[in-house]
Amino acid sequence: MNRSIEELLLCPYLIIDVLPRQVKYGSPGQYFAVEKYYLSEPQISRIKRKHIDLVLKLNCYMSIALGEYGEPDPPPELTAESMRRERQCILLDDAMIVSEPDETYLTLYNADEELAELVKILAAGEGLYVWEP
């Protein structure tokens, strides 16, 4: 890894989400009611499972670490459990995915074109979307 977590947080990012694009301010839909629904059980656990599966599949193609000081390529069970319990900064070479246990999206920072394309394919396989804010 060439950059610190703090530096990566300042880089361009993509959103990996259950929605195909950002909901515009003032949208006539029920964004907050739907978000509340998805943040409740069992929906949030299903979404988190998709996030975990995406990261684990990504780990088949590249090395990951949980945080700056994490050992490379932790056991899949450790990755899954830590993503369920706490905020994780998942480092991928010179990019990072931030996962929050109680959010319906992941944030991918500093992805080059090849990584972005791979993540889009993996996300689609999980029924998720990747978009630029």
User: Would the pLDDT of 1 be above 80?
Assistant: no
Cα 8 from chain centre: 14
**Identity at 69, one-letter amino acid code:** Y
User: Would the pLDDT of 80 be above 60?
Assistant: yes
When pLDDT is cut at 50, 70 and 90, the band that residue 113 belongs to is: very high
- Report which secondary-structure segment, H or E, holds 17: strand 13-17
Q: Please report, for the chain, the start and end positions of each structural domain, with discontinuous segments joined by +.
A: 5-21+30-131
